[in-house]
Amino acid sequence: MAAQAGVNTETLRYYERRGLLPEPDRTVSGYRAYTSAAVRTVRFIKRAQRLGFTLDEIAELLHLADGGPDSCDSVRSMAGARVADLERRIVELQAMRDALGRLAGTCDKPREQRECPILHAIALDAPPGETL
């Protein structure tokens, strides 16, 4: 099952503990006997994670998946919130990239005449008393 779903066995157990995956029946020898539906569920979880959904949100998506057409509005709302969050994070990442680029550009002085501006800038944002 783990190989079919592209995860490791600990991931399966974790999903069971979180309630994302129902606990499977056991074989006579004690092995977990997963169904093909469980494989589809794990693949659903992994695809949703790649789209940026948290496990809590995925639990809600799994619940909504059984709800029929009326659930579509809820899923659309969740997807819209995810898009807004991604756009915010993209802006933040672009700002971080630009700031690091500017800092790296100040490293052109001869080595003996400079302090590292990157370390200095990071130290300025550190809490009082914290050093690098």
Closest C-alpha among 59, 27, 22, 57 to residue 38: 22
Q: pLDDT digit string (tens) for 22-70?
A: 888 889 998 888 888 999 999 999 999 999 899 999 999 998 887 767 7
CA-CA distance, 97 to 71, in Å (whole number)? 39
Look at residue 132 in the predicted model and tell me its pLDDT: 45
- Domain covering 1-51 in this structure, CATH number: 1.10.1660.10
**Domain segments of the chain as ranges:** 1-51, 86-132
